[in-house]
Amino acid sequence: MKYDTSELCDIYQEDVNVVEPLFSNFGGRASFGGQIITVKCFEDNGLLYDLLEQNGRGRVLVVDGGGSVRRALVDAELARLAVKMNGKAMAAIPVGAAGEGIGESDVRVNFGGVTFFSGDHLYADNTGIILSEDPLDIE
């Protein structure tokens, strides 16, 4: 499904939060959306492997890496697992993260001026990212 965040903001301006424009599109899709799963991990991507091995159809993985630019949470192998999820990230970083599985899922995460909760709904396109507590009627 194609999403137009500008149009969604016009229609649902009282129901959405707009994420600050911090991210670059590395996933290759013009738009994506779905119910989110939140993860908080710092320089460790082991939990991401566990989550990406599950069926994520219709879901969006929102990862708070603590703002670290020293380690990449998504390495080549994890990127192959996540290829169907597509994605946006703050930056590309050549040094890989630890894989010990340290972190938490289904927790509140804050970044981009927005608080994300598992179960919220995220919609993204090349213009931006918006967040809604409830699914938006796209039809």
pLDDT tens digit sequence for 93-138:
444 556 666 778 889 999 999 999 999 999 999 999 999 999 998 7
pLDDT for residue 92 is more than 70: no
Q: Which residues pair with 60 in a beta bridge?
A: 36
CB-count exposure of residue 32 (10 Å: 0-12, 13-18, 19+)? buried
Write out pLDDT tens, residues 68-87.
777 778 777 777 776 655 44
- DSSP code for 88: E
**In the block, residue with structure tokens 């903001």:** 9
Distances (CA, A) of 64 to 11, 25, 56: 29, 16, 18
The pLDDT score that the predictor gives to residue 71 is: 77
The CATH homologous superfamily to which domain 5-132 belongs is Ribonuclease E inhibitor RraA/RraA-like (3.50.30.40)
Structure tokens at 81: 């697992």
Burial per residue of 88-103, b for 16 or more beta-carbon CB atoms within 10 angstroms, e otherwise: bbeeebeebbeeeeeb
How far, in Å, are 1, 10, 11, 122, 135 from residue 138 at the CA level?
9, 12, 10, 13, 9
Q: pTM for the complete prediction?
A: 0.81
Cα gap 54→60, rounded to integer Å: 12
Say if residue 88's pLDDT is above 80: no
- Domain extents for the chain? 5-132
